[in-house]
Structure 1
Amino acid sequence: MSLESEGMSVVDHLTELRKRIIYVLLVFVAGLVGGLFCARPIYNYLISADIAQGFVLHAFSFWDGIGMYMKIAMTVSLVLSIPFIVYQLWAFISPGLRPEERSATLRYVPYVFILFVLGIAFAYYVIFPMALSFTISITRSMGLAETYGITQYFSFMFSLVIPLAILFELPLLVMFLTKLRVLNPLRLRKMRRYAYFALVFIAVVITPPDFISDFLVTIPLLVLYEFSVFLSAIVYRKQLSADAERESRYTQPKSR
């Protein structure tokens, strides 16, 4: 292959990547517009939920209300865009996959949305109330006057909910990389101690600084990792079986 053809191949790949990024941005902007229409009912739900009862939220700047609506709209857009983002990623790398890998990985796309929504639900209904209760108890134990801004409240919420929702994609990511033969269960078991350390570190960073909160977040993350190893083992066994069948087909002597 000549250098010119290789250069054209690189240019073609960059052009394709730019096209995929433009598609993602267009969908994200469309989701952002739709999210702005949904922002008010979502805000009313979040404020009227049991978690927010007893709070009087304040605006400390003229932009607090708009900023809160934008945060909600961006979250809605992210939820709606994630399956499309994953599909565009698959479309970009699919030419380098075998036909069976291409069809198998495409099936993962709907589960990206499901796992992300489950992660949001777990973070909002389990982790966020726990973290909020802890921080409020510390504030009251110090005898401080409670004056909460709407920006601080929603920033605190989204800083917990969004990272955990993304981490819920771990099993799917591991299955995808196993399908591409980048990972396998043997490698995942060998790196378990490092993965555990990373997950514990993430749990400590995104939760309030107390042992109970760290423990309650760490356990689901470790379970997610072990579930990822289990799913990787299933995919890996199927790959070994397919490889053995393919090898036996080629090595079997042909009948005259």
Structure 2
Amino acid sequence: MALDQYKEEEEEEGMSFLDHLEQLRWHLLRSVSAVMIFTVAAFLAKSIVFGKIILGPSRIDFFTYRVLCQVSDFLSLPALCIEQLPFTIQSRQMTGQFSMHITSSLVVGLIASFPYLFWEVWKFIAPGLYSKERQAARGAVFFVSLLFFAGTLFGYYILAPLSINFLSNYQLDPSILNEFDITSYVSTLSMLVLASAIMFQLPVVIYFLSMSGLVTAAMLKAYRRHSIVVILILAAVITPPDVISQILIAMPILVLYEAGIQIAKRLEKKRAEKELEDNLKYKDNE
């Protein structure tokens, strides 16, 4: 193990700055190629990607709305059922539909290729880590991708439709009609989904910070109240100004924060066991 680590360090030291740049260039080229492949595929599948996925939350037969109506029937709460979305989507610019077709295809391509993108990033970073650090971060690509897609699904099926429902039903006066531009609709939907996907990476961030010793479980507990305030502020920034949407995005983030505390506890426990084992070995050698 020590010999392998020495060889790895020797190879890393033997690489020049230009060699690192060359590696980075190829990682970037492969990453961009992956995004472009999925983007082109999404662009060609316009009827599915745009007609069903992008415009899905704007239609009353969307999955989330149908589930809410079923729940409202079961609980006898008619207010839960969303029966109308009083708005229309328009394109007020000549290039509006075409540009949004490209933009939405790029967003779908980015989301679909995310596991490969992170894998390329990890391949570039991993050689600079010690074998012990790589062992501790084993499975990073899987868990980061899992949380990313969980956040994407949460944003698309929960956060986005409820936010769209609120904004479409909000009126200053009955004489004012809600006629949203396609640019506004696509940008709002993309922001909600991507923001949710990024926010769901909180346990991974806590894991690496705890592994590096920058945060501890006790510190996370001590600043729990401050974290709640920060999370609520972030939820207010990325969601429309309605309390329900803000609570919906804040609740899973708070749960993930608590999960991060448990992760930090587990890492500290393993670190303490490892130190105890090393001390015992040291005493036996004496």
Shorter chain as denominator, the TM-score bin is 0.7 to 0.9
Q: Cα gap change, 1:195/1:19 in structure 2, threshold over 3 Å: closer, same or farther? A: farther
Does the 8 Å contact 1:105/1:179 carry over to 2?
A: no
Structure 1 counterpart of 2:192: 160
Structure 1 counterpart of 2:67: none
Q: 2:274 aligned to 223, 242, 245, which one?
A: 242
Residue 215 of structure 1 pairs with residue 222 of structure 2: no
Alignment of 1:216-231 (within 5 A): 216-231=248-263
Q: Which has the higher mean CA deviation after the structures are superposed, 200-209 or 169-178?
A: 169-178
Structure 2 counterpart of 1:45: 52
Does the 8 Å contact 2:38/2:108 carry over to 1?
A: yes
State TM-score, norm by structure 2.
Answer: 0.75
Q: 2:181 aligned to 149, 159, 181, which one?
A: 149
Q: CA deviation at 1:101?
A: 2.3
Residue 70 of structure 1 pairs with residue 102 of structure 2: yes
Q: 1:101 aligned to 122, 128, 133, which one?
A: 133
Q: Cα gap change, 1:163/1:47 in structure 2, threshold over 3 Å: closer, same or farther? A: closer
Q: CA deviation at 1:24?
A: 2.3
Q: Which has the higher mean CA deviation after the structures are superposed, 45-54 or 142-151?
A: 45-54
Q: Cα gap change, 1:173/1:86 in structure 2, threshold over 3 Å: closer, same or farther? A: farther
Aligned-partner Cα distance in 1 for 2:42–2:200: 22
Does the 8 Å contact 2:54/2:186 carry over to 1?
A: no
Structure 1 letter corresponding to 2:205 = L
Aligned-partner Cα distance in 2 for 1:100–1:47: 43
Q: Cα gap change, 1:70/1:145 in structure 2, threshold over 3 Å: closer, same or farther? A: same
Does the 8 Å contact 1:101/1:180 carry over to 2?
A: no
Aligned-partner Cα distance in 2 for 1:31–1:159: 19
Q: CA deviation at 1:11?
A: 4.6
Q: Cα gap change, 1:96/1:252 in structure 2, threshold over 3 Å: closer, same or farther? A: farther
Q: Cα gap change, 1:14/1:180 in structure 2, threshold over 3 Å: closer, same or farther? A: farther
1:37-75 Cα deviation digits (max 9, x unpaired): 344312221367464235542221222222222232222
Does the 8 Å contact 2:155/2:197 carry over to 1?
A: yes
Q: CA deviation at 1:157?
A: 1.1
Sequence identity (%): 29
SS in 1 for 2:285: coil
Structure 1 letter corresponding to 2:228 = Y
Aligned-partner Cα distance in 1 for 2:15–2:139: 32
Q: CA deviation at 1:134?
A: 1.7
Aligned-partner Cα distance in 2 for 1:215–1:10: 47
Structure 2 counterpart of 1:3: none
Q: Cα gap change, 1:206/1:116 in structure 2, threshold over 3 Å: closer, same or farther? A: same
Q: Cα gap change, 1:97/1:140 in structure 2, threshold over 3 Å: closer, same or farther? A: same
Q: Cα gap change, 1:197/1:178 in structure 2, threshold over 3 Å: closer, same or farther? A: same
What count of residue pairs does the alignment treat as equivalent?
Answer: 249
Q: Cα gap change, 1:124/1:245 in structure 2, threshold over 3 Å: closer, same or farther? A: same
Alignment of 1:104-183 (within 5 A): 104-139=136-171, 141-183=173-215
Q: Cα gap change, 1:47/1:30 in structure 2, threshold over 3 Å: closer, same or farther? A: closer
Aligned-partner Cα distance in 1 for 2:268–2:19: 33
Residue 21 of structure 1 pairs with residue 53 of structure 2: no
State TM-score, norm by structure 1.
Answer: 0.83
Q: CA deviation at 1:12?
A: 4.3
Residue 57 of structure 1 pairs with residue 57 of structure 2: no
